[in-house]
Every structure is written in structure tokens, then in C-alpha cells.
Amino acid sequence: MKIKQYRTQFIKELSSLYDAYEAESFFYLILENKHKLRQIDLALNHELTFSDADLVAWSAFLKQLKKEVPIQYLLGKTNFYGLDFEVNENVLIPRPETEELVEWIINENTKTEKYKKLKILDIGTGSGCIAISLAKNLINAEVYGIDVSKKAIETAKKNAANNNVDVTFMFLDILETDVLTCNFDIIVSNPPYVRNLEKKEIKKNVLDYEPHLALFVDDNDALVFYKKIAVLAKSSLLEKGQLYFEINQYLGKEMTDLLEKMNFKNIELRKDIYNNDRMICCKVFRTL
């Protein structure tokens, strides 16, 4: 069958679940990953065909997509901040909003890291996307990542090796930790922040397949991770050290109030590309 003809069939079969643009994007992602063909290749050569074996493989993809399994899990990888990352059911699929958080940290610290070796800790590292992206772009930084999931740590280590960066990953339950054994210039975290009451807003492909351990918190203690990390940051950040969080879009004021009460300074709340409160930064000053 001609690939161009199959593309039309593929998009039609997914039309009840996905709009045409999303279904087409799935088609070209699979085409590039499995056949090393790009959209331009198909445009330039309308006679390209799939073999019978190819069609069997594509049918398997269709079956999983109809179950709303995330395309990133089906391909086993995704792109984040210009880098390729292995992803699986043990780690969250990195989001564009998190890229914005990484961009913020890099922009704020590019000049500093040229003359000072920054020490950075990523708490709840998951796939390692934040830690690895920072290590790749802040080349003089010494970067660490911790997670409560040993399988996530295994994935993060693979991603660091695949991206040729040196990041130290460690297993640690932050809620059971009383003190961090090192001091840091920067602590960053994208911890679980989706309340159970917000599950109705979560798409099936996320709710059914991504790890709940990395997503959800109790409605009655939605800031549990932020409180604990902020306490640890107060004692572990160096003078003028920076604390960055990705946050629940509905809890921007609550996060600002929390950090103010803990006497953090230079608190800045930022919106993401969708105009939602999504990230916050503050600093530690001990000599005031």
C-alpha cells in the first residue's frame, strides 16, 4: 500500500478520539521514528509504500492509540528542550510548561555559571529531563537529581548517558528526609501537585497511563511537597540561593503566601504559555 494512501486511512481510524491535526502528527512521529522518513520525504515521493509487515506493525500502533496510550510511551521516547529522552510507564512525559521552567533557570544563571561552578539539585527528577537539560546548557554546573522511584532513577541514568552529560542521580524519599547533606546554589522541583478533585480535568491518556505517584496529592494537603522542600531549601541553599518550583495553576496565591511566610525573598510567580500560573522562584538571604 502507498504510504500516502495509508496516511488517510490512519487519520480516519483515529477520528473518533483525536482531531485530524493530532492524528496526523502521530502518523508522522511514527513514520520518522520507525522508517526514518519525514513529511517532506512523503511529499517528494508519492510512490513510497508500506510492506505487509509494515502494515501489521502500524495496526499494532493503531490498536494502542485507540486505547489512548500516549504516543510517547509507544515510541519509548520524546523530545524535551531539544534533547531526546527515553520515557516509559515509570516516568511522567515531560511537558512544554516544564521547558519554560528550564528556560527560566538557564536564562537567570548563564552568566553566573561562567565564573562560578553552580551546584544544582532537582527534586523528583523522574526522567531526568530538568536535571539533564540544565547540565547540558549550564556546562560548568554540578547537577544532582533525586526521586522516590528506583525505576525512574534507572530511566534518568540512561537519559543522562544518552545525552552525554554527567548528572548524579540518587534514590531518596524527600518526605522522609530531615536534612540534605549538601549545600546548593539552586534547588528545582516539579513535584506531584494535581489534587484528586482535579482528576475530572485530566485526559484519559494521562489518567490511565502516567504514574499517579508523580501526579497526585491529597486534596487536604495539596502543598505537602512544597512545604517540605521549602523547609529543606531554607537550610540547604547557599546565600542568595534560588528555589524554583513548577506549581498547580490554581494555587499560585497559596504558593506565594507559603514562601512569604517562610521568609523567602524576591518571590516571582510566572504564567506559562497557556496563561496559567505555573512556576515560581524565590531566594534565600541570610545576611539581611
Per residue in 120-129, pLDDT (tens digit) is 999 999 999 9
Judge contact between 169 and 128, C-beta under 8 A. yes
Distances (CA, A) of 212 to 75, 90, 160, 170, 191: 21, 10, 24, 20, 12
pLDDT exceeds 60 at position 20: yes
Over range 29-43, report the average pLDDT: 94
pLDDT exceeds 70 at position 288: no
Query: Domain coordinates of the chain in residue numbers?
Result: 3-67, 78-283
Over range 176-196, report the average pLDDT: 94
pLDDT at 287: 66
Over range 204-213, report the average pLDDT: 89
Is 78-283 a domain of CATH 3.30.70.330?
no
State the average pLDDT for the chain.
95
| Global confidence as pTM | 0.93
Over range 1-30, report the average pLDDT: 95
Judge contact between 229 and 148, C-beta under 8 A. no
HEC sequence for 258-283: HHHHCCCEEEEEEECCCCCEEEEEEE
Query: How much of the chain, in percent, has pLDDT values that exceed 90?
Result: 89
